[in-house]
Each structure stands twice: as structure tokens, then as C-alpha cells.
Amino acid sequence: MAKPKLKAHRIARDWCKGCGICIEFCPKKVLELDTEAKAVAARPEDCIVCKLCELRCPDLAIEIETEREGANHE
């Protein structure tokens, strides 16, 4: 099975409350809070697709879209 490749961090800005859990526990420090206190992927190239941000988000605001999954949707 091929390693899933990151396509995009889909972050629902209107659902994100800026609690910082995704940022704190990202093993590669990919995410940051922007000036409006919403999570954004500041360094997506470092993402290893562990999906811990998606699994831990209390607001169900993060979805990690991968190349393989993306292909299935189309």
C-alpha cells in the first residue's frame, strides 16, 4: 500500500475555536494560529499525514485530505 500523500488540510474556519490542541500536539509543528485565532497549515510540506490533528479536534473542524482519498471522491 502506498503511503498516503497530503493533498490539503481542510480547516473549517467557522467551526474552529482556536483552542490550540492541534497546534500543540502536531509532531511536526505544521499548524499555527492566524491573526483571527483560527488554525492554519503554516508548513504543509512538513506534514506526515498522521492525522492526529483531525482525530483530536474538539470542533471536528480539521480534515486531512490525501491524494488517494481525493481520487476516490472524484
Partner 1 sequence: MAIKDYIRERFFPHMWCPGCGHGMVLNGLLRAIETLGMSKNEIVMVSGIGCSSRISGYVDFHTLHTIHGRALAFATGVKMSRPELNLIVPMGDGDALSIGGNHFIHACRRNIAMTAIVMNNRIYGMTGGQFSPLTGYGAMATTAPYRNIDHGFDIVQLAMAAGATYVARTTTYHVKQMTEILRDAIIHEGFSVVEIMSQCPTYFGRKNKIGDAPEMLEWFKNTTTPIGSKAKQEDPSLIERGVFVQKELPEYCSEYAKVVERAMKGRS
* 40 belongs to the binding site for partner 1 (CB under 8 A): no
Residue found under cell 490542541? 21
Nearer to partner 1, 32 or 59 (CB): 59
* 74 belongs to the binding site for partner 1 (CB under 8 A): no
* 20 belongs to the binding site for partner 1 (CB under 8 A): yes
Task: Return the number of other C-beta atoms located less than 10 Å from residue 37's C-beta.
Answer: 11
Which residues fall within 8 angstroms of residue 61, CB to CB, at 6 or more apart? 11, 12, 13, 15, 16, 39
* 26 belongs to the binding site for partner 1 (CB under 8 A): no
* 32 belongs to the binding site for partner 1 (CB under 8 A): no
